[in-house]
């Protein structure tokens, strides 16, 4: 690894740690003022942000990025306004820092309590979506944490301008300079080094695909919270309202196929497959979706591409869908638990017992009955935004909002007690 890059990362780590100590005791007013200033700065600098983003998009086209990745990368006036709106919504949320979770008195007179406290320094590694920059910074700031950002090289120009814009605005309201930092390098060794910065970073949150996940698993010594991969399923049960199922499935696949909560698989009960699949797949194909079917699916709708074993484990993030006919809700559950990534799963059924069975047995962060998987989102859940969708079980699961960016501290009040 280049010695200059290593020195830069260590200096960023030092600055972040120093800033985190100040942020830990920052008042809610100071943090909210910073968020509001950051939101205004994004809107004021929208033209510069979009111009930088256009450079990234042009480079992406030249490098052959898929249409799905280009869609994730793209910023426009509406998306910049949404970034600003998210920051203002965070300012309106309760400050989690200092919240007393419980308090009790022991027989010896000690009063013991548990309170929320910032984690410290959060590192985030993310791909494609530059709007994540503003969301991540806002959440970390409101929760009293410093942040070190490492975005994908395909969004570097966008991330530079966004980070500079919001960091400048925050500093003008009293936020310490090292609180918001971007690793301004395309060198992939920076990611590996970042994952080993135990003395500086308290937790790393990776947002990306299988490749990034493997890098984290292979190299991280800093604690991490895995997020993002969404091999999501919609299961249409034998007792489904088929009109409702068709609306849900179409939305889950087509509304925004490049994001992690889009459906990648359709499972259909055999008793309704011949009635449901022809119309459903025709509508999806009419919207440009490539269908890959199991043997039974291809007997019902001819001319489809065969789904391979690899398809069942693939997160497409594109207009591609694999379809399987199953014999029971139990088979659907077993298939999902074997091939899913623990993100978001849905059942469409009017059967109370089938819904109860599915909701209890499916192992995922978000499980839906009669609704699209597209709702798994921090903003939709009322968190303002999210750091990502955690697909692991410790210390956070599902959309990561403000409380998931805190830890706890025990406070003990005494009056001279000794042991």
Does the global pTM surpass 0.75? yes
- Mean pLDDT of the 402-411 span: 97
For the chain, give percent helix, strand, coil, nearest 5: 45, 20, 35
- Rounded to a whole number of angstroms, the distance between the first and last alpha carbons of the chain is 51
CATH 3.40.605.10 residue ranges for the chain: 3-227+387-413
Distance CA 328, CA 334 (A): 10
* pLDDT on residue 385: 84
Q: Quick one: pLDDT at residue 140?
A: 98
Residue 84 is predicted with a pLDDT of 97
* Residues 384-395: tens digit of each pLDDT: 788 999 999 988
The string of pLDDT tens digits covering residues 283-340 is 999 999 999 999 999 999 999 999 999 999 999 999 999 999 999 999 999 999 999 9
Q: How many CB atoms lie within 10 A of CB 131?
A: 21
Whether the predicted pLDDT of 157 surpasses 80? yes
Q: Which residue has the higher pLDDT, 13 or 229?
A: 13
Mean pLDDT in residue range 169-187: 96
DSSP for 108-154 reads TS-EEEEEEEE--EEEEEE-S-THHHHHHHHHHHHTT-EEEEE--GG
pLDDT at 331: 98
pLDDT value of residue 1: 80
> Has residue 379 got a pLDDT over 90?
no
Per-residue pLDDT, 325: 98
Q: How many CA atoms lie within 13 A of 334 on its CB side?
A: 6
pLDDT score recorded for residue 133: 97
Q: What is the mean pLDDT of the chain?
A: 96
- Gap between the Cα atoms of 82 and 231, Å rounded: 26
pLDDT at res. 128: 81
pLDDT at 209: 82
Average pLDDT over residues 57-79: 93
Structure confidence at residue 404 (pLDDT): 96
The reported pLDDT for the residue numbered 4 is 93
- Whether the predicted pLDDT of 210 surpasses 90: no
Class for domain 3-227+387-413, per CATH?
alpha beta
DSSP assignment string, 256-320: -TTSTTSEEEEEEEHHHHHHHHHHHHHHHHHTTPEEEE-HHHHHHSTTPEEPPTTGGG----SSE
Distance of alpha carbon 5 from alpha carbon 272, whole angstroms: 59
Does residue 289 contact residue 224 with C-beta atoms inside 8 Å? no
Residue 15: pLDDT over 80: yes
Q: Per-residue pLDDT for 383 more than 90?
A: no
What CATH homologous superfamily does 232-375 map to? Aldehyde Dehydrogenase; Chain A, domain 2 (3.40.309.10)
Q: How many CB atoms lie within 10 A of CB 218?
A: 9
Distance CA 245, CA 256 (A): 18
Q: What is the DSSP letter of 374?
A: G
Does position 162 have pLDDT exceeding 90, yes or no?
Answer: yes
Taking CA atoms, 44 is separated from 3, 40, 74, 259, 357, in Å, by 37, 6, 19, 28, 51
Question: pLDDT at residue 228 above 80?
Answer: no
| pLDDT value of residue 57 | 97
Burial of 83 (0-12, 13-18, 19+ CB in 10 A): buried
Query: CA-to-CA distance for 286 and 289, rounded, in angstroms?
Result: 7
Task: Report whether pLDDT(265) > 90.
Answer: yes
Tokens 């033209």 belong to 47
Mean pLDDT along residues 99-104:
98
Positions of CATH 3.40.309.10 in the chain: 232-375
The mean pLDDT value for 83-94 works out to 95
Question: How distant is the alpha carbon of residue 179 from its chain centre?
Answer: 21
What is the CA angle 374-379-380, rounded to 5? Answer: 45
Average pLDDT rounded to a whole number, residues 365-379: 96
120-129, 155-164, 221-230, range with greatest mean pLDDT = 155-164
In this predicted structure, the answer to whether residue 64 has a pLDDT above a threshold of 80 is yes
Question: Residue 124: which of 116, 114, 134, 110 has the closest Cα?
Answer: 134
Q: Which residues have a Cβ under 8 Å from the Cβ of 67 and sit 6 or more positions away?
A: 318
Q: Which residues pair with 124 in a beta bridge?
A: 149, 205
Percent of the chain with pLDDT over 70: 100
């Amino acid at each position: 690894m280049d010695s200059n890059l290593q020195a830069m990362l260590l200096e960023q780590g030092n600055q972040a740690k120093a800033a985190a100590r100040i942020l830990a005791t920052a008042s809610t007013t100071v943090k909210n003022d910073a968020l509001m200033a950051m939101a205004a700065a994004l809107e004021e600098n929208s033209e510069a942000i979009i111009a930088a983003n256009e450079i990234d998009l042009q480079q992406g086209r030249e490098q052959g990025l898929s249409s799905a990745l280009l869609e994730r990368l793209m910023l426009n006036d509406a998306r910049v306004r949404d970034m600003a709106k998210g920051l203002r919504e965070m300012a309106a949320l309760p400050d989690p820092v200092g919240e007393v979770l419980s308090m009790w008195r022991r027989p010896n007179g000690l009063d013991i309590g548990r309170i929320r406290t910032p984690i410290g320094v959060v590192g985030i590694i993310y791909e494609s979506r530059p709007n994540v920059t503003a969301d991540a910074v806002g959440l970390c700031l409101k929760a009293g944490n410093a942040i070190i950002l490492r975005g994908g090289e395909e969004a570097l120009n966008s991330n530079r301008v966004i980070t500079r814009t919001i960091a400048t605005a925050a500093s003008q309201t009293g936020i310490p300079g090292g609180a918001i930092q971007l690793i301004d390098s395309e060198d992939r060794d920076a990611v590996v080094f970042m994952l080993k910065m135990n003395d500086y970073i308290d937790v790393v949150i990776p947002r990306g695909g299988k490749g990034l996940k493997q890098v984290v698993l292979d190299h991280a010594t800093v604690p991490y919270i895995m997020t993002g991969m969404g091999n999501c399923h919609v299961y249409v049960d034998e007792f489904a309202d088929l009109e409702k199922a068709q609306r849900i499935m179409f939305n889950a696949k087509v509304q925004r196929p490049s994001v992690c909560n889009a459906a990648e698989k359709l499972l259909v009960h055999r008793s309704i497959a011949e009635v449901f699949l022809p119309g459903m797949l025709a509508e999806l194909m009419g919207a440009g979706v490539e269908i890959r079917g199991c043997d039974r699916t291809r007997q019902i709708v001819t001319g489809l591409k065969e789904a391979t074993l690899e398809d069942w484990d693939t997160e497409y993030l594109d207009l591609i869908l694999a379809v399987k006919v199953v014999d029971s809700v139990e088979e659907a559950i077993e298939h999902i638990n074997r091939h899913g990534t623990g993100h978001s799963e849905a059942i469409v059924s009017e059967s109370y017992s089938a819904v109860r069975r599915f909701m209890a047995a499916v192992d995922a962060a978000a499980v839906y009955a009669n609704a699209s998987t597209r709702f798994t989102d921090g903003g939709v859940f009322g968190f303002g935004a999210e750091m990502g969708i955690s697909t692991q079980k410790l210390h956070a699961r599902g959309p990561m909002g403000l409380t998931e960016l805190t830890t706890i501290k025990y406070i003990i009040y005494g009056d001279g007690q000794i042991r």
